[in-house]
Structure 1
Amino acid sequence: MAGFPPDPARTAVTSQDGVKAALPAVRAGLRAMGLRLTVPVRVRLVGPDEMASMTGSHAGRVLGWTIVTDTEVVDLAVLAGLDGPEFGAVVAHEYMHAWMTQRRFGRVSLPIAEGLSQLAADGWLERQSDPRARTLRAAIAADPDPVYGDGFRRVRAAVKRHGLMPVLRTVRSRGALP
């Protein structure tokens, strides 16, 4: 029906076929931001118990995880059942972790690493027409968490002053924001 947002259950990504269908739009949005992986990385859906086991957290608390060995990204694990906009935002967030790993960013403080990843999620959501994307962006911007929320706001302020690629170059070379 026109005028109503899509039903989240209809856009939920619940299978690897759903992942394959959703990924081109996510990758295109990230490429529009200037982000492209040097080596493609698999996106794998996992259940809440598997995610909790991987991350050491309670089931349902972590939505995505980048699995890395040294400087190689093995895959991106994403919680199954997220609706389209949330799935895309989680993939964009984890994609930024993979992007930094592939470019050998080395040690970066957690607020900067998570802030950059939240910035990728926010940038991807900004390009979406789904009204749920606005809600997710507002949640990212208002997140009170000192790592994710404050990190995002610090990174966003630096990007507004200097631009995304200059900020990424500075973080890579100095491990700090400009």
Structure 2
Amino acid sequence: MEFHEINWIATAAWVQAIGSIIAIGIAIWVPFKLAKDSQKKQEAEKISLSRVVQVSLLPDLYRLRSCTKDFLDFQSGGKSFLGVNRSPEDFDEDFFSLVKEYANILKIASKSGVIQEQLTELMSIVLQTNELLAENTRLQRDGYHAAWTNHKDLFIEAAESINELSDKVILSIESLY
């Protein structure tokens, strides 16, 4: 064998070795790239879903905030912004039926994205208020008719928390869009 033939064989071996290293690199890089692209797509879908959930919650949150505000205004006994006297007996909105309704609506909090923590806190207060309402109803059914009067401060406190948190969630959603 001549020197020229040995050099050619050595060069071919180096080319094959380099080609094998490149093939291994591609074999590692392609699945990594596909997984990374898939992860980005899943993240984009998650963000898109959270935006849909956030915006779809807005009408219900507006209603919850409005009804809790009305409840609190009537319970205050003060005059309306137009100067009309308010009395708790004149309150015609069933704020407490909303508590039950929203306990179910807010269960989608896990899909709400960046507002999840605030929505979870709101859900917790709504569920606690629902439990307090159920307890109050049981007491009244059992003959303790002063239950509402004795628990009124608890309901007002819960309504204030619900109003404050629903306002905070609404502002968070509105600031995103």
What interval of TM-score do these two structures reach, taking the shorter chain for normalisation? under 0.3
Higher strand share: 1
Q: Which has the larger radius of gyration?
A: 2
Q: TM-score, normalised by structure 2?
A: 0.24
